[in-house]
Structure 1
Amino acid sequence: MKDLSLKQHIVENTLAGSTKGGIFECAVADALFKKGYRLYFYKNETTKREIDVIIQQDGKVIPIEVKSGNTRANSLKALLKNNKDIPYGYKFVDGNTGVSEDGIITLPLYMIAFI
């Protein structure tokens, strides 16, 4: 990410409104792309559920949701529930770590560097 003012807003958490989520999603996708991952997107036209990014890691399909405000990941939860061959998914948030019973691993945004 070369835009220093945008980096500063992300670091200082001064982004607001509907642009915050889109910028966080782009930052995560950019970091994954730079690490060499091929990026995919999923949207179910019937349910209108979508997954922000899907990668392949160690031969497994891994869905990733990025949340800037509302931290519920209903689409990710439904995808994991209906696809038992997907072992877990990542949810990147502007907050702390956590692991849920339904296979969602919650990580702070900066931890994208460790995926």
Structure 2
Amino acid sequence: MIPAPAQGALALEIRENDSHMEEIISHIKDETTEIQVAAERGFLAGVNGSCHVPMGAYCEINDDKLILTGIYGDEEGKKLVVKSIEGSVKDSSKIGFDLAEEVLKEYNKL
């Protein structure tokens, strides 16, 4: 099962330019999670996703390689595309958009 993008990720919002709070939360910041969320949310944005769109994304990281899997379908359950893409962790958001583009191309052919 491919979850919703960024499912289970927690985010903290702080005041702008609050260096004291930035220092406090820097100890719980997880760089891997940030990369995964950027890729998954890139896919979400690329397919113009919302809570009303049947879609999901899951990102894995192995060394410096990012593997993103996306799923996209219609509300009736008649059309469904599942696809994966690999790339560098440095391009996480772009990889999400690239996967969305590939998935939508395939979806529109169904």
TM-score normalised over the length of structure 2: 0.30
- Identify the structure with the greater strand proportion: 1
Larger-Rg structure = 2
Q: Which of 1 and 2 has higher RCO (CA within 8 Å, sep 6+)?
A: 2
TM-score (normalised: structure 1): 0.29
